[in-house]
Amino acid sequence: MTTFEARTAQLAAIEESGWGQPFRLVQPRNLAFWVYLLGVGGGALAVVRYFGPGAHFYRPALTGGVLLFGLYLVPWLLLLRHQNRYTAQPATLLAAAFAWGGLAATFWIALPANTALLEIWTKLGGTAFASDWAAGLTAPINEEFGKALGLVLLIGLAPRLVRGAYDGFIIGAFIGLGFQVFEDVLYVYNGAAQTFGTDQLGSSFQIFVLRGVAGIVSHALFSAIFCAGLMWVLGRTPGERNVPRGVLTMLAALVFHFAWDDMAGLSGGIGTVAVVLPFVIAAVELITLFYVLRHAARQERTWIRQLLRPEADAGVLDPALLGAVSGLRRDRKAFRKLVHGRRRARHLLEGASDLARELARSRGAETSEVAHARAELLRLRGGGQVPM
Amino acid sequence: MTDTAPPGWVPVEHRFLGLDRRTFAPALGVLAVALLLLYGLPALNAAIPWRSEIRAGDVLDLGDGATAVPPVGWQLEAGTLTGTGSVAPASLQVRLTTGGATIAVVGASFDGTADAFLDQVLRSEGGATGVDGSRGTVTTASGLVGVALASTGPTGDGLDVAFKMASAAGEAEGAPALLVRVRTTPGQFERRQEVVGTFLRSVTPGAVR
């Protein structure tokens, strides 16, 4: 590839990925902003109406729930921050996604929609059928679509930033995490109400343990998969549209959600099956998650390679580092072995990511920030040349 | 000279009431789906009638072998009949309805007497203990003893009965608690009194069955 071709590909990658574009939530001329405000505002109002009357009596449970699930958020945010790699999304956009999941999807949409659909299944199939299957036939539909609406609004608010399936994956995970945490607090409140307020801290801790463990393979995962699938259907990046794959991915998320919610019905009352089934479903979910993640990252990795190619050609970073910074986990692992050190590998990868980000922010122009990021990377490499 | 539009600038040909028409498709799409879920499903639900009428011989499963006989002709909106599934007594939710009256049965874990359980229920709802009236005793056909509290107000009449679902008197403290809650519109309670009484008398703890 000539220097001119590499430079053209770099500018095309910056343009296509939208990386470096600022995100503004408040856009009064954008109808998506008003719909977002309606959803989040409606959700906030529903929160006040739901918890308000019992907030005083159930304060120990609510406080316990908010504190416990607030702490629960920390490792999740660290994990998702780690996954927000390649052409990373801005924190403000991810915060907006989280708020949609927690307030709009949970309280504005799912709460009334689930109540209605659960009752419809009870009317159509009877109470015994409903007790086995209604939850799984209700929540996946209302909740997955309710959460995905947030992604569509964010596309409307940041059309240049939300481009590929990997963007859908990360934004979906944040929407799902918001949904999960707010729903968990709702469960804590309902659990305390079920016992009319006896042993509120005990019941909130019990729900924290149960929901916390189940949460590992719950809403954040469902939404990451569903929203990646939606992005494949929408095909907002040239060549990335794949409707069959997108639909199948979305269906997989719906099926996982169904299986998780109707575990009792699926186990058919057989004790052994009831014990083994959650682990089987969790294993299948995680395999699917990594499969989707790998495919969704393909376009992002290409962009990073194109973005850094002129720098690699100029000798700022070597092929091994370029491969690692635009690669998968196994590539980063191989790179760690190559440079004989986890810490050094991390520094080099972060330095290369910084340079890519500054190049994207400057739209490929030579700015003082780009020069500094480049100098930093060269300084890090100077500490010991990366073997070629 | 390059011409870069300021952030938020909308070309005149794309404006509609000050908004950018290019943003309408995602926003209106989201609004349509949200409204469908928010109002479409409740509307569909309202259009579908209940068809789960209690028939003669039906028995309610209250968990761990406890049962009650629901009134024939009422609609079972929540809860399980015996032989159709399993029920956990501590998370039991039963709702029976008929014109102007509802019987709700709620199970809960509670250490203490039926009287103390009723206190806890009232406290959780912000009501001072015993303001509605004096408490009475309800004894079921199986010998189970409950504490009843009647109330009346502008929206209708009510009766709350608390049981501890123990088959032997010594086990009552740690046994699951059961709250039977009857609500009727004004003037309906007298009409339903006999049916409610029959239902309450039919409540049977597990081991006695």
What is the ipTM, given to two decimal places?
A: 0.88
Q: Are residues A131 and A231 in the same domain?
A: yes
The secondary structure of residue B60, as a DSSP letter, is E
The secondary structure of residue A86, as a DSSP letter, is S
Beta carbons of B85 and A117 less than 8 Å apart: no
Whether the CB of B50 is below 8 Å from some CB of chain A: the reply is: yes
| pLDDT value, residue B209 | 38
Q: Are residues A319 and A256 in the same domain?
A: no
Q: Is B21 helix (H, G, I), strand (E, B) or coil?
A: helix
Contacts of B75 in chain A (CB under 8 A): none
| pLDDT value, residue A305 | 94
Q: Are residues A123 and A239 in the same domain?
A: yes
Chain B, nearest residue to A264 by Cα: B86
Residue in A58, A126, A131 nearest the CB of B52: A126
Q: Is residue A297 part of a domain?
A: no
Whole-angstrom distance, CA of residue A201 vs CA of residue A63: 9
Q: Are residues A336 and A198 in the same domain?
A: no
Beta carbons of B38 and A34 less than 8 Å apart: no
Q: Are residues A172 and A251 in the same domain?
A: yes
Whole-angstrom distance, CA of residue A81 vs CA of residue A94: 10
Q: Is residue B7 part of a domain?
A: no
The secondary structure of residue B133, as a DSSP letter, is -
Whole-angstrom distance, CA of residue B190 vs CA of residue B136: 17
Domains contained in chain A, number: 2
Residue in B20, B38, B85 nearest the CB of A132: B85
Q: Are residues B67 and B148 in the same domain?
A: yes
| pLDDT value, residue B7 | 74
Whole-angstrom distance, CA of residue B103 vs CA of residue A93: 48
Q: Is residue B136 part of a domain?
A: yes
Q: Is the Cβ–Cβ distance between A127 and B52 less than 8 Å?
A: yes
Chain B, nearest residue to A132 by Cα: B85
| pLDDT value, residue B169 | 65
Q: Is residue A146 part of a domain?
A: yes
Q: Is residue A46 part of a domain?
A: yes
Q: Encode pLDDT of A311-341 as tens digits.
A: 999 989 999 999 999 998 899 999 999 988 8
Q: Are residues B40 and B65 in the same domain?
A: no
Cα torsion through B27, A242, A231, A178, rounded to 10: 120
End position of a domain, from candidates A222, A257, A278: A278
Candidates B24, B41, B95: best to mutate against A (most CBs of A within 10 A) is B41
Distance from CA of B17 to the nearest CA of A (A): 9
End-to-end CA distance of chain A: 19
Q: Are residues B32 and B82 in the same domain?
A: no
Residue in B25, B41, B124 nearest the CB of A117: B41
Q: Are residues B89 and B121 in the same domain?
A: yes
Q: Compute the C-alpha angle B60/B125/A210, nearest 5°.
A: 65
Measured CA to CA in angstroms, residue B11 lies from A146, A357, B1, B4, B138 at distances of 32, 30, 19, 12, 76
Whether the CB of B85 is below 8 Å from some CB of chain A: the reply is: yes
Contacts of A30 in chain B (CB under 8 A): 19-20, 23, 27
Domains contained in chain B, number: 2
Strands B177-184 and B101-108: antiparallel
pLDDT of A89 higher than 80:
yes
Whole-angstrom distance, CA of residue A189 vs CA of residue A32: 32
Whole-angstrom distance, CA of residue A137 vs CA of residue A93: 31
Q: Is residue B96 part of a domain?
A: yes
Beta carbons of B31 and A35 less than 8 Å apart: yes
Q: Are residues A232 and A105 in the same domain?
A: yes
| pLDDT value, residue B72 | 96
Strands B60-63 and B66-68: antiparallel
- Which residue numbers in chain B have pLDDT < 70? 1-3, 127-132, 169-170, 172, 207-209
Q: Is the Cβ–Cβ distance between A284 and A241 less than 8 Å?
A: no
Whole-angstrom distance, CA of residue A250 vs CA of residue A248: 5
Whole-angstrom distance, CA of residue B124 vs CA of residue B162: 14
Q: Are residues A107 and A39 in the same domain?
A: yes
Q: Is residue B3 part of a domain?
A: no
End position of a domain, from candidates A229, A255, A278: A278
Q: Are residues A69 and A205 in the same domain?
A: yes
End-to-end CA distance of chain B: 92
| pLDDT value, residue B85 | 73
Distance from CA of A323 to the nearest CA of B (A): 36
Contacts of A155 in chain B (CB under 8 A): 26
Q: Is A376 helix (H, G, I), strand (E, B) or coil?
A: helix
Q: Are residues B66 and B151 in the same domain?
A: yes
Which residues neighbour B193 within 8 Å (Cβ) at sequence distance 6 or greater? none
Q: Is residue B52 part of a domain?
A: no
The secondary structure of residue A385, as a DSSP letter, is P
| pLDDT value, residue B132 | 59
Q: Which two tokens stand for residue A175?
A: 């929407």
Q: Is residue A306 part of a domain?
A: no
Element (H, E) at B95: strand B93-98
Query: Among residues A139, A143, A77, which one has the least CA distance to residue A109?
Result: A143
Q: Are residues A272 and A166 in the same domain?
A: yes
Whole-angstrom distance, CA of residue A261 vs CA of residue A26: 37
Q: Encode pLDDT of A116-174 as tens digits.
A: 999 999 999 998 899 899 999 999 999 999 999 999 999 999 999 999 999 999 999 99
One-character DSSP codes across B150-203: EEEETTEEEEEEEEE--SSGGGTTTSPEEEEEEEE-TT-HHHHHHHHHHHHHT-
Q: Is residue B83 part of a domain?
A: yes
pLDDT of A71 higher than 70:
yes
Element (H, E) at A312: helix A271-313
Domain span holding position A333: 315-382
Distance from CA of A218 to the nearest CA of B (A): 22
Domain span holding position B110: 60-208
Q: Are residues B73 and B18 in the same domain?
A: no
- Diameter of chain B by CA atoms? 95
Q: Are residues B19 and B99 in the same domain?
A: no
Q: Are residues B92 and B194 in the same domain?
A: yes
Q: Is residue A309 part of a domain?
A: no
Which residues neighbour B58 within 8 Å (Cβ) at sequence distance 6 or greater? B69, B70, B72, B76, B81
Q: Are residues A229 and A171 in the same domain?
A: yes
**Looking at chain A, how many residues does it have?**
388
Whether the CB of B108 is below 8 Å from some CB of chain A: the reply is: yes
Measured CA to CA in angstroms, residue B133 lies from A326, A328, B129, B187, B189 at distances of 74, 71, 10, 18, 16
Q: Is residue B201 part of a domain?
A: yes
Query: Among residues A263, A228, A49, A40, which one has the least CA distance to residue A139?
Result: A263
Q: Which two tokens stand for residue A16?
A: 């296509």
Q: Is the Cβ–Cβ distance between B185 and B100 less than 8 Å?
A: yes
End position of a domain, from candidates A233, A259, A278: A278
Q: Which two tokens stand for residue A245?
A: 């794959």
Q: Are residues A350 and A274 in the same domain?
A: no
Q: Are residues B29 and B94 in the same domain?
A: no
Q: How confident is the model at residue A112 (pLDDT cuts 50, 70, 90)?
A: very high
Element (H, E) at B93: strand B93-98
Contacts of B27 in chain A (CB under 8 A): 30-32, 34-35, 153, 156
- Which residues 110-169 in chain B show a CB within 8 A of chain A? 110-111, 117, 120-121, 123-124, 126
Query: Among residues A138, A173, A141, A155, which one has the least CA distance to residue A35?
Result: A155
How much of chain A exceeds pLDDT 90, in percent?
80
Q: Are residues B67 and B42 in the same domain?
A: no
Residue in A32, A126, A197 nearest the CB of B120: A197
Q: Is residue B160 part of a domain?
A: yes
Beta carbons of B78 and A123 less than 8 Å apart: no
Distance from CA of B58 to the nearest CA of A (A): 13
Q: Encode pLDDT of A356-385 as tens digits.
A: 999 999 998 999 999 999 999 999 988 544
Q: Are residues A177 and A265 in the same domain?
A: yes
Give the mean model confidence (pLDDT) for residues A205-231: 94
Beta carbons of A194 and B120 less than 8 Å apart: no
Residue in B10, B24, B37 nearest the CB of A142: B37
Q: Is residue A292 part of a domain?
A: no
Whole-angstrom distance, CA of residue B184 vs CA of residue B131: 19
CATH number of the domain at B163, please: 3.40.1000.10
Whether the CB of B81 is below 8 Å from some CB of chain A: the reply is: yes
Contacts of B88 in chain A (CB under 8 A): none
Beta carbons of A198 and B27 less than 8 Å apart: no
